[in-house]
Structure 1
Amino acid sequence: MLGSITRIVTLLIASLWASAALAAPPSPWILDRPAAGAFPLLAPDAVADLVVSPDDAPVVGLAAQGFADDLAAVSGRSAQVSADGGAPNRAQVWIGTLGRNPAIDRLVADRRLDVRHLKGAWESFVIAVVERPAPGVPRALVIVGSDRRGTAYGVYELSQAIGVSPWRWWADVAPPRRDRLYVAAGTRRFGPPSVKYRGVFLNDEDWGLQPWAAHTFEPETGNIGPKTYAKVFDLLLRLKANTLWPAMHPTTAPFNGDPANARLADRYAIVMGSSHAEPMLRNNVGEWKAPAADYDYARNRDGVLAYWRERVQANGGYENLYTLGMRGIHDSGMVGADSLEGRKALLEKIFADQRRLLTERGLEGAPQVFTPYKEVLDVYRGGLKVPDDVTLVWPDDNFGYIRQFPDATERKRAGGSGVYYHLSYLGAPLSYIWLSTTPPALIQQQMGQAYDLGARRLWVANVGDLKPAEINTELFLALAWDVDAFRKAGWRGFLADWAAREFGAEAGPEVADLMARWHGLNFERKPEHLQWQLPGQKPRMSDLSLEAAAARLAAFDALSARVDAVAARLKPDQQDAFFELVAYPVKAAAAANHRFFDAEAHDRLADAAPLEARRRGALARRADAELAALTERYNAEIAGGKWRGLMAVEPADGQWKSFRLTPPVLPAASLVGAGPEPAAPPPSAKTDPAAPIVIQAESVAAGAGWTRVDGLGRGQGAMQSGAAASSLAYAVTLPPGDWSLSVDLIPTFPLTAGGALRLAVAVDGGAPVEIAVRREPGDAVWAQGVLDGRLGAASGLSLAGGPHRVVLTAREPGVLVDALAFKPR
């Protein structure tokens, strides 16, 4: 069946496409021929020189060299980076920071360059064509930043404008070849960013980034070291990010264990921070050498304080974000106090002492953050006093749903608020550290809501091994850079632009659509969550009927076929990037689903339909082999073996078993075979649940007080409540019988801290029934919700067969309704 689907889709797409995939056009302000006033960046007879000042920050020279390399990749011709003014009578790109480049400052003083919006601005830049900027220079392209990072962002903005992906190195995206590039006349202004500090956390690196760095990319270090971090820093600049929380598991050498790392971060102008569990830039799992029991502030204050002081003294000369507070070693709970009041008092003492350390080093004005993560959020809600200038960083529940948003009082704090958000997680109830499947729609909705409620100081995403989280990493950071522009295009617009940039204008729409559909399927159940029991529980069958599972597999098969059709139309130099960014995630998820559901079908049908059971068992084993082959190709073949050791299918080993997928049990080879294709659908097993009747929430128009959120849930979207007391009405006709009504919600958290998701349901004009779903991470309702991607809220109402009118009324804003479900009683 899969082969026939592949052939059909291939023929359909072939009929629509030209014979070869075309490169995406460069930015609208980049031209491929001369025009009045345009700057010749790349002309048939010359390449522009890149001119920097020796007095500027090191990152400016690094970015200039990075752009020179990009231009060479595009054209095959080298540009010279000069700090002596460049060659006369040649086109020149002047690159510099306001106040640190004398030539650019003279243009400003002579009113030849308008930089009014740059003065005093954060990370902003201007790109302008200037006529006769100096004797012997007929025309220059000037890139000027308000600060050192603004300048670097401007350089890499030009790189993207000429068609170079930020992922050129990290995902082997080959830029389109050009032999002419002209920058249109005029001035273009960018910044300041929507969120001040924007970055990523490299985490759970044991199964990808660390073994790859240690054995493939940086064997001379045998770990994640300066060579790897240099590539990470360069990527962050290309994505207009400025912050990194470095890798911190026991398998990895501590970032600050090698002073070269911090020096390198400063050269790249990257602000270094540390996770919620690593106060004062300390990696506790690698740097705390005393017994673990001594990492207790209540009884070893002097020892812990000296440990923190050492890092502040050593790294205080760099630009850092200082994490305040304290938890146990390696993300474990607080020690030293058992009661709520005791924990409050201890943390407040820790805050005061940590801030004194900063004052000792002359850093009292340095940015400081506090993340009330897991049990610490309860301490904060219990009245913990956090200094007003400290940024409160609100965590999600580790699965993409932000636990608390700043209220009116918190929005007035001098330190503001931020968000720590997971795109990858190792923890209960089940980890997801293999493929990056958080829906772009959820990221946009949750982070946009956080922004609207005042969380604008720091956004950090836990991206795991970084690969294969390329799409979501860039999406998260693009949203943080310019919320308004992102919202104007939406997540679908982002995917469309991303796909066209990476794979060309012809392939772009198809790639964007298939990735959107892939995210939708995985939102229903992540590939790392393909078991229906929690670790330690008795195994059980999935909640899907054979028919529902078959429909899910058919949807994955259709996506895989579309991937094959796209790959067949791409050029050879696009194949590696396509495999890394699209083909592997799509096909690996499809194989994982086949392995699970075909094996389950074998077990369900073994007695009722033994021939079909044998066939499905063979398909499960085939999927398992395909998954192994795909992963081997990623590690051994793609980009000439560049990524050897990076990709490991979950579960990769037996560590952390209490919250990792149980290795699948496949039918033995002797039990399966290539049985005949069934002439009719196989009989349902007795364990198949009765299918409910589902009405998608977005099937009615959004009335006053409700907003349709595209791409969330199991249909085309979800409905989000705005004003309380606003309603949605649904007409439904049920078959004969008795039916119970439940409302499926997206498992978000209420906007009111510690509150509940509240709705009222009324049927046929009857009295409304209140629904209140409390959200408590760690309990069974929460665990089921994050694994299923929905919360089933029973109404307690019973309906007879026939026509009915169901009305949902909001009791508070922010509730996301996915569907109405009517189940036979």
Structure 2
Amino acid sequence: MRWWLALLLLGATPAQAADWVRSVAQRGDFPLVARGQAARIVTDPAEDAVVGIAAEDLKQDIGRVTGAAEGGAAQVWIGTLGHNEAIDRLVADKRIDVAKLKGAWESFLILPIERPAPGVARALLIIGSDRRGTAYGAYELSRAIGVSPWHWWADVTPLHRDALYVARDARRFGPPSVKYRGIFLNDEDWGLVPWAAGNHAPEEKPLGPKTYAQVFALLLRLKANLLWPAMHKVTTPFNADPANAALADRYAIIMGSSHAEPMLRNNVGEWTAPAEDFDYLKNPDEVRRYWDERVRSNAGYESIWTLGMRGIHDSGMVGPKTVEDRRAALERIFADQRAMLARAGAADAPQVFTPYKEVLDVYRAGLKVPDDVTLMWPDDNFGYIRHFPDAAERARKGGSGVYYHLSYLGAPLSYLWLSTTPPALIREEMGRAWDAGARQVWVANVGDLKPAELATDYFLSLAWAVDKVRAKPVDKFVEDWAAENVDAAQAPAIAEILRDYHRLNFARRPEHLQWNLPVDKYRQSPLTIGEADERLAAFAAMETALAQVEPAIPAERRDAFYELLAYPVRASAAANRRFFAAEAHDRLRDSDLAEATRRGRIAHEADSEIDRLTTYYNRELAGGKWRGIMAVEPADGQWRSYRQTPVVLPPVDAPAPPAGPVKAQPAAPVLPLLTPDRFAGWTRVEGLGRHGAMLAPSGKKEASRATIDLPPGEWTVLVDILPTYADRDGDALHLTVGIDGVTQALESRRETGSRDWAMGVLDNRATMTLTQRLSGGRHVVTLERADPGVLIEAIRFVPAPAEKADRGLH
């Protein structure tokens, strides 16, 4: 057994599934399924419930893949150190070395052993350092044999294998990079709730145990451990049904609550007094009683307690009028909330405080947060993190975390329909947070969960193994994910389609196809008809690539293909056709009625296509399993102040006038442009921006240089960057650019909530303007220095004055 002891001492890391679970045996392999019989799954009855759940799921997964039932001579032992008598006996007899496992957080070993007990010739041991580590081990083996974490939530049917052999090498997994990793189900009004209430679990008030059981199982398969439950008015509060909390404990899922729901209380559904009475200055006794009731009922469960206070449903705090008054009130609230936990025996339970929205101003005004409380730093709701821990914050005992949005209901415009946040943006922002020391808690707002499968998977994969995932190119991660969840043979082509999907929709999300804010008068897009046609041609090329892939998809993966790829690709393309065709109709109506009518019909056809695609998703896909899950934004008239305005479709019933030849619509003149591929010396960040990559400073001192030839005339220079934040919200990002040896120091500030910020997050771009004007001829451009977080999309040269030539999506 010396061979696996050496691997453990070296801290062996997991390999790809194909490397350690195979269909043809090699010398020394463990026969998980051989000659039509599966190894017997063995657990200790004294183990925690989640170990039994995971063991049963592994048994079912082996059956899903092979069709085999238990009956072989080999056994799989699944157990937790200190809770499994048979495994503990092996440790005591020094048959296995678990020194690196003892005391580790959520870690596990997978290793074969000869003759572990009388009458047992061989066993595969899955040993966890704690209850979740053990469960993760069982699900890791499930994934390695070909059962995707998304097998239920995205209908990723496992592909059949006749036999399964586990390589003889021992493997050690964990501990995770981020201690607490999870998701927030939010804005569930238009997907999860109607689906659960009318289809998945009509016998229980939504959302109830039947639905949460599937969520918990998914989290375990993704090696997550934390859930903030759904909390809108349409949803029954999670803790209103004690069965929900008990079920979370059985699955070993840690429960928390959002920044707006202190002390595990769902204020929207549980605070029954008027909203103005949720006031700690005038009504402290009633508020304390309300919180203490939840502490006493849930102190025995594994929870993360959100401290602080805001108003009902994500509104500002009621009562205190000034920042100083809010600071004093919050410090009093912290003390009272922690006293409640101490009285209930939960003083050492993890606690978090999120300086979200206006609360960030209170924090910066000197708010004293107890040192062992984790500071949860939010993004701006659009994927750009507002604050990164400084040295003093990194030194805090409670550390820091991040609350990150992959879906959002709010200003300036919501994005609730399709998941369009590029994995590359998640990588850059969460990687930057990790580097700054935010490593304690990561939570992603995933909205209705579907169709955010890829983004959710990537976020949680980063949280589990930051260094490993960051080291892999994003396109390679997506390709591997496509191979696992759709089709390995088509994975490179699928990854390329998803790259185009994120590039095109990041320039303008399908839910953001309007160029006026809801409070503004309507205004047209800044694209000419020709430029819009170029954008639509790119979507059409993406759909063509999809159509070429589709016939080769295995029949058992067709539903997964539709959910994970076909629907988002085709629906986003149709949304763009509908918007830009309707806009072209309005522009051409007075000058070219025949072409305007043709465009109007395209808009109607695209609208019908969206209806058809969505109807299939909701009624026919997977035998009707997902009826009610998919709603096109805006789904109704709620929250109109930050919902997309429905596209006005032109009339098409009147007969079209005689059509002449279709007139090509000219695009604007192509303006000189420096894109990331023109520069060397800085780091190229793939998968972001309108050109498929962006530039980031490499940390080295040398400048990056490019040359450009400008036509005769006078030119203004615009530098497009991602609308990221400096390390501290309110500070400026700095970039130094040189042209022909003349350098200029530029800066960009994000004022969250301002009009410039709003336009920046809708465009996913901010622009810096150089004061230097250039004449025609050759010019040398150098990127001299930049703050961390500066990501350059392009340098554009436009005829002066710049304002007349700035185009929105280029």
Amino acid at match of 1:538: K
Q: Is 1:484 equivalent to 2:470 in the alignment?
A: no
Partner of 2:306: 323
Whole-angstrom distance in 2 between the partners of 1:675 and 1:179: 64
Amino acid at match of 1:821: R
Partner of 2:47: 56
Q: Using the TM superposition, name which of 801-810 and 645-654 deviates more.
A: 801-810
Whole-angstrom distance in 2 between the partners of 1:756 and 1:529: 27
User: Are the structure 2 counterparts of residues 257 and 805 from structure 1 closer, same or farther at C-alpha, using a change threshold of 3 Å?
Assistant: same
Instruction: Give the conservation status (yes or no) of the 8 Å contact 1:193–1:481.
Output: yes
Root mean square deviation of aligned Cα: 1.6
Whole-angstrom distance in 1 between the partners of 2:677 and 2:326: 45
Q: Is 1:314 equivalent to 2:288 in the alignment?
A: no
Q: Is 1:802 equivalent to 2:768 in the alignment?
A: no
Deviation at 1:570, TM superposition (A): 1.4
Instruction: Give the conservation status (yes or no) of the 8 Å contact 1:401–1:748.
Output: yes
Which whole-Å deviations, capped at 9, do the CAs of 1:778-816 have from their partners, x for residues lacking one?
101110110001001112221112211223332533211
Partner of 1:296: 279
Q: TM-score, normalised by structure 2?
A: 0.95
Whole-angstrom distance in 2 between the partners of 1:675 and 1:246: 58
Partner of 1:82: none
Q: How does 1:522-541 map to 2 (within 5 A)?
A: 522-541=505-524
Amino acid at match of 2:55: A
Q: How does 1:277-426 map to 2 (within 5 A)?
A: 277-426=260-409
Which whole-Å deviations, capped at 9, do the CAs of 1:35-83 have from their partners, x for residues lacking one?
322111111241111000011100000001111121111112334xxxx
- Select 1:44's aligned residue among 28, 35, 38: 35
Whole-angstrom distance in 1 between the partners of 2:780 and 2:69: 70
Whole-angstrom distance in 1 between the partners of 2:300 and 2:69: 36
Which whole-Å deviations, capped at 9, do the CAs of 1:730-764 have from their partners, x for residues lacking one?
31111122111111010000124421111233322
Deviation at 1:707, TM superposition (A): 2.1
Amino acid at match of 2:672: I
Q: TM-score, normalised by structure 1?
A: 0.93
- Select 2:762's aligned residue among 783, 787, 794: 787
Partner of 1:754: 730
Instruction: Give the conservation status (yes or no) of the 8 Å contact 2:36–2:163.
Output: no
Amino acid at match of 2:477: F
Partner of 2:147: 164
Whole-angstrom distance in 2 between the partners of 1:769 and 1:754: 21
User: Are the structure 2 counterparts of residues 724 and 188 from structure 1 closer, same or farther at C-alpha, using a change threshold of 3 Å?
Assistant: closer
User: Are the structure 2 counterparts of residues 342 and 681 from structure 1 closer, same or farther at C-alpha, using a change threshold of 3 Å?
Assistant: same
Q: Is 1:694 equivalent to 2:685 in the alignment?
A: no
Q: Is 1:518 equivalent to 2:494 in the alignment?
A: no
Deviation at 1:698, TM superposition (A): 4.2
Unaligned runs of 5+ in 1: 1-24, 80-86
Partner of 1:14: none
Deviation at 1:721, TM superposition (A): 2.6
Whole-angstrom distance in 2 between the partners of 1:187 and 1:447: 31
> Secondary structure at the residue paired with 1:27?
helix
Amino acid at match of 1:163: G
> Secondary structure at the residue paired with 2:309?
coil
- Select 2:619's aligned residue among 598, 612, 636: 636
Which whole-Å deviations, capped at 9, do the CAs of 1:630-688 have from their partners, x for residues lacking one?
0000000000000000000000000000000000001112257598695551356xxxx
Q: Using the TM superposition, name which of 68-77 and 209-218 deviates more.
A: 68-77
Whole-angstrom distance in 1 between the partners of 2:361 and 2:735: 25
User: Are the structure 2 counterparts of residues 273 and 189 from structure 1 closer, same or farther at C-alpha, using a change threshold of 3 Å?
Assistant: same
- Select 2:559's aligned residue among 571, 576, 579: 576
Deviation at 1:602, TM superposition (A): 1.3
Q: Is 1:96 equivalent to 2:71 in the alignment?
A: no
Which whole-Å deviations, capped at 9, do the CAs of 1:521-566 have from their partners, x for residues lacking one?
1110000000000102111111122222111111111111222222
Unaligned runs of 5+ in 2: 1-15, 801-810
Instruction: Give the conservation status (yes or no) of the 8 Å contact 2:276–2:318.
Output: no
- Select 2:120's aligned residue among 131, 137, 157: 137
> Secondary structure at the residue paired with 2:439?
strand
Which whole-Å deviations, capped at 9, do the CAs of 1:408-427 have from their partners, x for residues lacking one?
11111100000000000000
- Select 1:548's aligned residue among 522, 531, 538: 531
Q: Is 1:126 equivalent to 2:109 in the alignment?
A: yes
Whole-angstrom distance in 1 between the partners of 2:655 and 2:365: 59
Instruction: Give the conservation status (yes or no) of the 8 Å contact 2:487–2:557.
Output: no
Instruction: Give the conservation status (yes or no) of the 8 Å contact 1:723–1:812.
Output: no
- Select 1:442's aligned residue among 411, 425, 435: 425
Q: Is 1:34 equivalent to 2:34 in the alignment?
A: no
Q: Using the TM superposition, name which of 810-819 and 380-389 deviates more.
A: 810-819
Whole-angstrom distance in 1 between the partners of 2:165 and 2:585: 62
Whole-angstrom distance in 2 between the partners of 1:674 and 1:494: 52
> Secondary structure at the residue paired with 2:783?
strand
- Select 2:204's aligned residue among 221, 245, 252: 221
Deviation at 1:433, TM superposition (A): 0.6
User: Are the structure 2 counterparts of residues 817 and 217 from structure 1 closer, same or farther at C-alpha, using a change threshold of 3 Å?
Assistant: same
> Secondary structure at the residue paired with 1:388?
coil
Amino acid at match of 1:146: S
Q: Is 1:604 equivalent to 2:587 in the alignment?
A: yes
Whole-angstrom distance in 2 between the partners of 1:675 and 1:61: 72
Amino acid at match of 1:794: T
Amino acid at match of 1:207: W
Instruction: Give the conservation status (yes or no) of the 8 Å contact 1:690–1:824.
Output: no
User: Are the structure 2 counterparts of residues 353 and 726 from structure 1 closer, same or farther at C-alpha, using a change threshold of 3 Å?
Assistant: farther
Whole-angstrom distance in 2 between the partners of 1:473 and 1:813: 25
User: Are the structure 2 counterparts of residues 292 and 407 from structure 1 closer, same or farther at C-alpha, using a change threshold of 3 Å?
Assistant: same
Partner of 1:709: 685
Deviation at 1:446, TM superposition (A): 0.4
Which whole-Å deviations, capped at 9, do the CAs of 1:572-617 have from their partners, x for residues lacking one?
2111110011000000000000000111111122233332222111
Instruction: Give the conservation status (yes or no) of the 8 Å contact 1:27–1:163.
Output: no
Instruction: Give the conservation status (yes or no) of the 8 Å contact 1:617–1:673.
Output: no
Whole-angstrom distance in 2 between the partners of 1:250 and 1:726: 55
User: Are the structure 2 counterparts of residues 677 and 359 from structure 1 closer, same or farther at C-alpha, using a change threshold of 3 Å?
Assistant: farther
Whole-angstrom distance in 1 between the partners of 2:475 and 2:613: 28
User: Are the structure 2 counterparts of residues 125 and 676 from structure 1 closer, same or farther at C-alpha, using a change threshold of 3 Å?
Assistant: farther
Identity %: 59
Amino acid at match of 1:732: I
Instruction: Give the conservation status (yes or no) of the 8 Å contact 1:615–1:676.
Output: no
Amino acid at match of 2:89: R
Q: Using the TM superposition, name which of 690-699 and 270-279 deviates more.
A: 690-699
> Secondary structure at the residue paired with 1:820?
strand
Q: Is 1:469 equivalent to 2:443 in the alignment?
A: no
Instruction: Give the conservation status (yes or no) of the 8 Å contact 1:698–1:716.
Output: no
Deviation at 1:458, TM superposition (A): 0.3
Instruction: Give the conservation status (yes or no) of the 8 Å contact 1:612–1:678.
Output: no
Whole-angstrom distance in 1 between the partners of 2:727 and 2:659: 55
Whole-angstrom distance in 2 between the partners of 1:587 and 1:222: 34
Q: How does 1:223-302 map to 2 (within 5 A)?
A: 223-302=206-285
> Secondary structure at the residue paired with 2:770?
strand
Q: How does 1:552-701 map to 2 (within 5 A)?
A: 552-670=535-653, 678=661, 681-683=664-666, 692-701=671-680
Amino acid at match of 1:36: R
> Secondary structure at the residue paired with 1:460?
strand
Deviation at 1:129, TM superposition (A): 0.5
- Select 1:732's aligned residue among 705, 708, 713: 708
Amino acid at match of 1:716: G
Q: Using the TM superposition, name which of 545-554 and 600-609 deviates more.
A: 600-609
Partner of 2:753: 778
Whole-angstrom distance in 1 between the partners of 2:199 and 2:271: 29
